[in-house]
Structure formats: C-alpha cells, structure tokens
Structure 1
Amino acid sequence: MRMNEINYSDALPVEGYGPGFFRIGGKPMDGPLCLSWEGAKPWGGLADEDTLVALAGQIDVLFVGTGGEIAHLPRSLVSRLEEAGVGVEVMNSPSACRTYNVLLAEGRRVALAVLPV
C-alpha cells in the first residue's frame, strides 16, 4: 500500500477532540465551533443559524456534528440552509470531524459545525 502525505493547503483540519473540546491548529478550543476555510471560530450551537447561513456561496456541503449521538436539526435551520443552496449532512460529532477532514484533504468546499462530545 502506498501512503501519501495529506495536504490541507491553508485550511485547518480537526486534529483531535475530547469531552468538551476540539484541537484545531495545535490549540484546544472549548465548546461548539464552526470550522471553514476562514478558520475556526466559536459557534452558538443549533440556535445560531446566522453563522451557518453566512457560509452560503463559499461551501457546497456543511457537516453538522450533533455531539455523541445523531440528533435532528431544527427545521428552521434546515430550511434556511436549503434556501441558501448549502447541502447539509448531519451525523455524530466524531463522524462529522472525520468526514470533514477527508473531504477537506480532497480540496472540497466544505465546512463543519460541531457540538462537543
């Protein structure tokens, strides 16, 4: 098997996570966060729809990690993202982090909104 080094360009992948935090760019970040080509920033959770809708036009897919278990998104959030043309994939946070990293390494236009486990 041939191994290739992953190149994320200027984007930051999720390097790790644990109870209540994520490690991005070598630094721990507490609480929910939104991660995109712009970098990592705190996110107000599922009620903070404006932060996610603002990504429209810059990304094709938004991965939403809902913590340790998969949960339904508020209908208003789903509707606003669909109207803005953003594809949404909901999964538990560990899966969302891994999927985000894989597609980021492929050069895809993705973002991650994630709640801690």
Structure 2
Amino acid sequence: MTGGMIIRDAHFPGRAPIDAYGNGGFRFAGMSHRGSILCLPSGIHGWEPADPENLGEEDFARVIAEAAEVEVLLVGMGRDLRRLPAALRQALRDAGLSSDPMSTGSAVRTYNVLLAEDRAVAAALVAVE
C-alpha cells in the first residue's frame, strides 16, 4: 500500500439530469463536481478545456469519439453566448454532430428537457461561478 491519494478521471457511468450549476461546478445524481463537464452517452465526465473562452477541436475529442450515438450537442459557453470557432464548428459537422452553443444555464435546462424525452443528447458544459 502506497498510502498516497489516487486521483482518477471524474466519471459518472450513466445519464442523469443536472440538478444544479454554479459556484464553479455542477450537481447531478446525488453528487457534485467542481469544474466543467461533458454529458455523453457513456456517462458524465469531468472536462478541462484548454481555454474555455476559445474552445478547440482537441477539447471535443471525447465528444467526437461518441458522435455516432449523439443526435444533438449542446455547448454551454459559460455565462454568455459566444459563437463556436469556425474550425470547431466544421470539425463537429464533419463528425455528424449538430452543435448548438448557448449560455451554460440554457444548455443545462435544454439538456434536462431532451434527456427527459429520451433523446440522444450530449452536452459540453463550461462551469460558471
């Protein structure tokens, strides 16, 4: 036994509605997570985009890997709506993903509605304070 702390990638292996957001994180499935998250068919994953103000294709590698199982991708951009960079929009389109950028609050609400309708929805949610 090493006695050290083991740090694992944050992952909840299922689909769950987002119960709350703010204070730099999210609450779902009776748990809380500090930081941004990806809500995918494979579960909810901790997400650390290189620059939340300028998202890039590399930030969406896990999303693109699961694109075949996703009908719509909601992108919570933080407090304010911003356009996705053109190169990222094209990469998502090339993967067959329809992306819809919006504020994180709007993305959480829309994600919960589509999840309740059992739609093939995914969300990339930038945490807000």
TM-score interval w.r.t. the shorter chain? 0.7 to 0.9
Query: Are 1:41 and 2:52 counterparts?
Result: no
* 2:83 equivalent in structure 1: 72
Query: Are 1:24 and 2:28 counterparts?
Result: yes
Root mean square deviation, CA, Å: 1.2
Query: Are 1:96 and 2:107 counterparts?
Result: yes
Q: How many Å separate the matches in 1 of 2:45 and 2:67?
A: 17
- Residue 81 of structure 1 and its aligned partner are, at CA, apart by 0.7
> Deviation string for 1:53-107 (max 9, x for gaps)?
1121010100000011111212221111101111101100000000000011001
Q: How many Å separate the matches in 2 of 1:89 and 1:55?
A: 17
Q: Taking structure 2 as the reference length, what is the TM-score of the superposition?
A: 0.78
Q: Unaligned stretches of 5+ in structure 1?
A: 1-9
Paired residue secondary structure (1:57): helix
Q: Unaligned stretches of 5+ in structure 2?
A: 1-13, 50-54
- Residue 49 of structure 1 and its aligned partner are, at CA, apart by 2.5
Identity %: 39
Q: Taking structure 1 as the reference length, what is the TM-score of the superposition?
A: 0.86
Equivalenced residues, count: 108
Which has the greater radius of gyration?
Answer: 2
TM superposition outliers: structure 1 runs of 4+ over 4 Å? none
**8 A contact 2:39–2:122 mirrored in 1:** yes
* 2:17 equivalent in structure 1: 13
